[in-house]
Chains A and B, each alone.
Chain A
Amino acid sequence: MDMKVGKKKLGLKEKYQHMTRGLGWETTYQSMDDVFPFVKYEGIKIHDWDKWEDPFRLTMDAYWKYQAEKERKLYAIIDAYAQNNGHLNVTDARYLNAIKLFLNGISPLEYMAHRGFAMTGRQFPGVGARVACLMQSLDEIRHAQTQIHSLSNYNKYYNGFHDYRHMLERVWYLSVPRSFFDDAVTAGPFEFMVAIGFSFEYVLTNLLFVPFVSGAAYNGDMGTMTFGFSAQSDEARHMTLGLEVIKFVLEQDPDNLPIVQQWIDKWTWRGYRVLTLVGMMMDYMLPKRIMSWKEAWEVYFEENGGALFKDLARYGIRPPKWLDQIEQDKDHISHQAWATFYNYAAACNFHTWIPTDDELDWLSQKYPNSFDKYYRPRLEHWREEAKKGNRFYNKTLPMLCQTCQIPMIFTEPGDPTQICYREVDYKDNKYHFCSDGCKEIFEHEPEKYIQAWLPVHQIYQGNCFEEGVDPTAEGFDPLSAVLDYYHLAQGRDNLDFEGSEDQKNFEAWRGMATKNAA
C-alpha cells in the first residue's frame, strides 16, 4: 500500500498540543471584554494567556477511558459493600459520626467546586486555562456523586444522614463550610482559583482528605476508603492545576503579587478555620486514630507547606499571615471544638461523647502541653455529671464570628484561659470576630461579610421556625421549633452517643452477624 512519507509519529505532549492548538480566537463580532466580562475587575493583569500550560494534558477520549475504568471498579466495590452489610465492619458505631460530618459538611462542597470551576472555566479567555478548569469541574461532580452514592448505604441504617441537603442550608455548624465555599464562588475567577485551586486543593487538601480517607481505612470503612482512593488520581491533577495558577498569575505581571498575597493570607486562614472540624474528627471521632491533629498539621502544613512557600519565595510570595497564632493553636483547637459540639449536642445531627479512659490517655500523650492542664479535667467533670444523670446540654445560643461563623470558642494567642474577642464598628453596627485573621478579612471586604447568614442571628430574628409557627404562643419551645426547621429528629439524630438508636441498632445488628440466635 502506498503510504505517505514524511508523516512522523507524534509524541504525547506534541499530540496534545495539536489537539487544542489555536482552538480559541480573538472575537471580533463581540468585543473580548463583553465575551469575558469578569476577567479584569479583580485587578489581575494577564498579558499572554498562551503561557498558561494545561498541566493535565489529557484528551477527552483518554479521560473517558481512564475515568470509566475507575468508575467500574468503584461502583463494584460500593455494591459489594452494601450487599454484604459492610457497615457492620466498622470499628464501632461512634465512627459513623465522622462520616455524617463528611456527608453533611464536605460532599456539598464538592458540588460547589463543580459549579465554581465551571464559572472560572467559562470566564478565562485562555484555552489551557479553560480546559483545565472544566475538566476539574467535571471531576468535582464525580466526587460529589460518588460520595453521595457511597454514603447512601449508611443513610439506610443510621440517623443523621437523612436530610443533608436541607440541613446544609440551615443547621448552625454547617454554615461554617458552606459560607467558606459561598465566599469563594462569589469572588472573581482569579480569587476563586487562588482560594480553591491553590489554597484549598494544594496547600490544605492533605489535611482534609488524608484524615478522612485514612480514618476510613483505619476504621474498617471500605466504602468511604474506596471513593477516597479513587478520587486520589483526580486530586493529583487538581493540585498540579492549583500550583500552575499561582505561578502563571505571578509570572504575568509584578502588580499581581500583592493581590495574590492577600488572597493567600485570607484563604489559608479561612481554610484553616474550616479544618477545625477535621481536627476534632481526628482527635475525638475516630475510634482507631491515625495521628493527632497537631501531628497532621506539623507534617502536612509545617513541613510540606514550608517547602512550598520556600519555593514560591522567588516570586516574592511570603508564607501566609497568622502562622504564629496557628502554631500556638494546634495544641488547643480540636479540644475546644469537641467541647463545643458536646455542649450543643441537642442541636446537632451527629452524636458526641466523652472519650474512654484509653482515649483520654492517648490525648494526654499527644498533647502534653495542653490536654491535662486545660481539657481533660473538664471532660472528666462532664463524665461525672453525666453519670449522675446530668448530661450537660447547653441551651443558650453562642455568639458567632462574623467571618468564619464558628462560635467564639477560640482563645487568645498565649492565654488558653481567655476567649479571644475582636470587634469592628461598621455602619452603625458592631461585628464580632474570633481572631485577628477573621477581623482583618472582614475589614478588607465589609460589604461582603455583613451579608453573612449567621444561624444564631437568624434564630433570634425568628427566621428559623417552620411556616405557621407562632413564637408568641404559650408554651413555645424555641429549641424544639428550631429542630423542626432543621428537620432534625429529636432523640434520634441528636444528643449523646450513649443510649442513642445508632448505638443500639449497631450492637443488635452486629450481634445478629456474629452470634447464633438463641
Chain B
Amino acid sequence: MQMDLRTVTIKPQRQTFDHIARRIGADKAATRYQEGTLEVQATHNFHYRPTWDPDHEIFDASRSAIKMADWYAFKDPRQFYYGAYTLARAKQQETAESNFDFVEGRGLADTLPAELTDTVLKLLLPLRHAAWGGNMNAAFITAYGYGTALTQPCIFHSMDMLGIAQYITRVGLLLGDDVEVLDTAKQSWMEDSAWQGLRRYVEDCFVLKDPLEVFVAQMVALDGLLYPLVYETIIDNVLSSKGGTPIAMLTQFMTDWFAETRKWVDATVKTAAAESAENKTQMETWITHWRDRAAAALMPIAQIALGAEADAITSEVVDQFNARMAKAGVSL
C-alpha cells in the first residue's frame, strides 16, 4: 500500500544528531557536509594500539606539532562531502572530455609546432610522477591525520592527483608518437639532472612523519608553486602565445582544479596559524623551508620552457605565493 503523505505535517523531535547539535545549536537543520564530517572520526576509548606505531593511538593528534583545541575548526570552504565532491569532479571531467574531443577531432595536436610539442612532452610528462607522489602524500594525511575535517579533503586531493597523473598521460599519448614517450619521461624523472631536485623533494616528503608538515610540503608549497608556474604561467600564457592553445585546453582540468583547491588550502593554513602563536611560528618555519626547496627544485624545470626567463618568472610566482600566504595570516 502506497500512502500519499504530503499533506501530513509531523513535527520532528530533533533537527540533527546530538554531536552536530552541540556545535551548531539544536534548533537548526544541519547541512550534509556537517553531518558527513563533524566528529565522524573516533576519538575516545580505542581498544588497541597500532602494532605499527605503539607510541600512538589509532588516531592521535600528537602525531603533529600543530596543536588544535578543536580539530573541527578546520573547514572546507567547498563543503565537499563525497556526493558534492564527485558531482563537482564529474562536471570538470565532462569539460575535459569535450576539450580532448575538440583537440583530437580536429587533429589540433598535429598542427602544433614541433618544437612546442617537444617542450610540452619534456615539461609535462615527468610531472605524472610528481602527481603520483602527491597522491601518496595526500593518502598519508588521510590515513594518519586527525579529524575528518582535515583528512576528508585529503582523500579527495589524493584521488585528484591520480586523475591529474592520468590526464597528463593522455596528453602524452596524444602528442607523442608512441607509449614510449611515457618511458622516456620516466627516464628523465629518474636520471635527468633537471628533474632530480623535484624528485628528491617528493621522496623527502615520503619520509615525513607529521601530517601537517606533509600538508605544507605538498599542498601548500609544492602545489602552490608548481600549478601557477607550469599551468597558469607556462602553458596558459607563454606557450599559448606561441600557438600552444590546444595544450591549455588539454590541461584546463589542472588549472581549474588548482583555482578551486587553493581555497581549501588557504583556509586550512589560516585556521592552523590563527590558533596560537606556536602554530603560527611552526607554519611559518615549515612554509619558508618547503617554499625555498620547491622553488629551487622547480627552477630547472621552468628552464625547459622558459630558458633564460625562468629565473624572473619563478621569482614572480614566488612573490605571488608569498602574497597569498600573507592573506592566510602567514608572513614569510
A68 to B19, CA, bound (A): 28
- Chain B residue with the shortest CB-CB distance to A127: B132
Across the interface, which residues of B come within 8 angstroms of A166, CB to CB? Answer: 18-19
The minimal Cβ–Cβ distance linking B203 to chain A, given in whole angstroms, is 4
The yes or no answer to B144 lying at the interface (CB within 8 A) is yes
With A122-B139, A137-B142 as contacts: A30 and B82 at CB distance below 8 Å: no
A175 to B46, CA, bound (A): 10
A289 to B144, CA, bound (A): 42
* Interface pair A21/B58, CB less than 8 Å apart: no
Give the residues from 82 to 115 in chain B that come closer than 8 angstroms, CB to CB, to chain A.
Answer: 82-83, 86-87, 89-94, 96-97, 106-107, 110
* Interface pair A152/B35, CB less than 8 Å apart: yes
Across the interface, which residues of A come within 8 angstroms of B106, CB to CB? Answer: 1
The yes or no answer to A394 lying at the interface (CB within 8 A) is no
Across the interface, which residues of A come within 8 angstroms of B156, CB to CB? Answer: 138
The yes or no answer to B5 lying at the interface (CB within 8 A) is yes
| Pick from A3, A35, A165: contact of B207, CB under 8 Å | A35
Q: Chain B interface: which of A106-114, A292-300, A311-319, A473-481?
A: A106-114
- Chain B residue with the shortest CB-CB distance to A158: B13
* Interface pair B42/A169, CB less than 8 Å apart: yes
Q: Chain B interface: which of A183-191, A260-268, A426-434?
A: A183-191
| Pick from A3, A72, A88: contact of B3, CB under 8 Å | A88
Q: For chain B, what secondary structure do more than half of its interface residues adopt (helix, strand, loop), or is it mixed?
A: helix
The minimal Cβ–Cβ distance linking A353 to chain B, given in whole angstroms, is 21
Q: Chain B interface: which of A43-51, A58-66, A195-203?
A: A58-66
Type the 1/0 row for B148-161, where 1 means its CB is closer than 8 Å to any CB of A: 10011001101110
- The interface size bin for chain A is 35 or more
Q: For chain A, what secondary structure do more than half of its interface residues adopt (helix, strand, loop), or is it mixed?
A: helix
Across the interface, which residues of B come within 8 angstroms of A134, CB to CB? Answer: 135, 139, 155, 158-159, 162
The yes or no answer to B274 lying at the interface (CB within 8 A) is no
Across the interface, which residues of A come within 8 angstroms of B36, CB to CB? Answer: 144-145, 148-149
* Interface pair A23/B132, CB less than 8 Å apart: yes
Across the interface, which residues of A come within 8 angstroms of B30, CB to CB? Answer: 152
* Interface pair B58/A186, CB less than 8 Å apart: yes
A22 to B41, CA, bound (A): 34
* Interface pair A21/B166, CB less than 8 Å apart: no
Type the 1/0 row for B1-40, where 1 means its CB is closer than 8 Å to any CB of A: 0111110101011111111000000000010100110011
* Interface pair A141/B8, CB less than 8 Å apart: no
Type the 1/0 row for B270-314, where 1 means its CB is closer than 8 Å to any CB of A: 000000000000000000000000000000000000000000000
* Interface pair B179/A18, CB less than 8 Å apart: yes
* Interface pair A185/B58, CB less than 8 Å apart: yes
Type the 1/0 row for A130-146, where 1 means its CB is closer than 8 Å to any CB of B: 11001101100110111
The yes or no answer to A369 lying at the interface (CB within 8 A) is no
Across the interface, which residues of B come within 8 angstroms of A138, CB to CB? Answer: 82, 155-156, 159
Across the interface, which residues of B come within 8 angstroms of A21, CB to CB? Answer: 169, 179, 182
| Pick from A4, A89, A145: contact of B110, CB under 8 Å | A4
Type the 1/0 row for A23-35, where 1 means its CB is closer than 8 Å to any CB of B: 1110111100011
The yes or no answer to B143 lying at the interface (CB within 8 A) is yes
Across the interface, which residues of B come within 8 angstroms of A276, CB to CB? Answer: none
| Pick from B6, B52, B96, B143: contact of A61, CB under 8 Å | B96
With A21-B179, A25-B129 as contacts: A186 and B51 at CB distance below 8 Å: yes
With A18-B182, A84-B6, A182-B46 as contacts: A64 and B86 at CB distance below 8 Å: yes
Across the interface, which residues of B come within 8 angstroms of A75, CB to CB? Answer: 83
| Pick from B97, B151, B169: contact of A115, CB under 8 Å | B151
| Pick from A2, A155, A453: contact of B47, CB under 8 Å | A453
* Interface pair B42/A168, CB less than 8 Å apart: yes
Across the interface, which residues of B come within 8 angstroms of A284, CB to CB? Answer: none
A157 to B19, CA, bound (A): 17
A135 to B155, CA, bound (A): 9
Across the interface, which residues of A come within 8 angstroms of B45, CB to CB? Answer: 169-170, 453, 458
| Pick from B41, B46, B89, B142: contact of A64, CB under 8 Å | B89
Q: Chain A interface: which of B61-69, B183-191, B259-267, B322-330?
A: B183-191
The minimal Cβ–Cβ distance linking B175 to chain A, given in whole angstroms, is 10
The yes or no answer to A239 lying at the interface (CB within 8 A) is no
| Pick from B44, B52, B136, B158: contact of A38, CB under 8 Å | B52
Q: Chain B interface: which of A246-254, A335-343, A412-420, A508-516?
A: A508-516
The yes or no answer to A119 lying at the interface (CB within 8 A) is yes
Type the 1/0 row for A3-21, where 1 means its CB is closer than 8 Å to any CB of B: 1101100100000001111
* Interface pair B2/A85, CB less than 8 Å apart: no
A240 to B82, CA, bound (A): 22
* Interface pair A65/B82, CB less than 8 Å apart: no
The minimal Cβ–Cβ distance linking A271 to chain B, given in whole angstroms, is 16
Type the 1/0 row for B188-213, where 1 means its CB is closer than 8 Å to any CB of A: 01100000000110011011000000
* Interface pair A509/B139, CB less than 8 Å apart: no
| Pick from A157, A162, A453: contact of B10, CB under 8 Å | A157
The yes or no answer to B50 lying at the interface (CB within 8 A) is yes
The yes or no answer to B317 lying at the interface (CB within 8 A) is no
Across the interface, which residues of A come within 8 angstroms of B89, CB to CB? Answer: 60, 64, 68
* Interface pair B40/A157, CB less than 8 Å apart: no
Type the 1/0 row for A474-518, where 1 means its CB is closer than 8 Å to any CB of B: 000000000000010000000000000000010001001110000
Across the interface, which residues of A come within 8 angstroms of B140, CB to CB? Answer: 122
A299 to B92, CA, bound (A): 44
The minimal Cβ–Cβ distance linking B270 to chain A, given in whole angstroms, is 25
| Pick from A69, A114, A162, A458: contact of B155, CB under 8 Å | A114
Type the 1/0 row for B107-133, where 1 means its CB is closer than 8 Å to any CB of A: 100100000000000000000110010
- Chain B residue with the shortest CB-CB distance to A153: B12
A454 to B85, CA, bound (A): 38
With A118-B139, A512-B8 as contacts: A186 and B48 at CB distance below 8 Å: yes
Across the interface, which residues of B come within 8 angstroms of A155, CB to CB? Answer: 14, 16-17
Across the interface, which residues of B come within 8 angstroms of A381, CB to CB? Answer: none
Across the interface, which residues of A come within 8 angstroms of B151, CB to CB? Answer: 115, 118
The minimal Cβ–Cβ distance linking B42 to chain A, given in whole angstroms, is 6
* Interface pair A122/B52, CB less than 8 Å apart: no
The yes or no answer to B43 lying at the interface (CB within 8 A) is yes
Binding site for B on A (CB under 8 A): 1-4, 6-7, 10, 18-25, 27-30, 34-35, 37-38, 41, 59-61, 63-65, 67-69, 71-72, 74-75, 83-86, 88-89, 108, 111-112, 114-115, 118-119, 121-122, 127, 130-131, 134-135, 137-138, 141-142, 144-146, 148-149, 152, 155-159, 161-166, 168-170, 175, 178-179, 182-183, 185-188, 448-449, 451-453, 458, 487, 505, 509, 512-514
Known A59-B163, A118-B158, A135-B159; 15 more pairs at CB < 8 Å? A18-B182, A23-B129, A23-B132, A35-B206, A61-B96, A61-B166, A64-B90, A85-B8, A112-B42, A138-B155, A155-B16, A159-B13, A170-B45, A182-B48, A452-B48
Q: List 18 A-B contacts (CB under 8 A).
A: A18-B182, A25-B189, A30-B204, A35-B207, A61-B163, A84-B6, A134-B139, A135-B159, A145-B82, A165-B19, A168-B42, A169-B44, A178-B47, A186-B47, A451-B49, A509-B8, A512-B8, A513-B8
Binding site for A on B (CB under 8 A): 2-6, 8, 10, 12-19, 30, 32, 35-36, 39-52, 58-59, 81-83, 86-87, 89-94, 96-97, 106-107, 110, 128-129, 132, 135-136, 139-140, 142-144, 148, 151-152, 155-156, 158-160, 162-163, 165-167, 169-170, 173, 177, 179, 182-183, 186, 189-190, 199-200, 203-204, 206-207
Closest 6 CB pairs between A and B? Answer: A68-B90, A60-B163, A156-B12, A145-B36, A163-B18, A118-B142
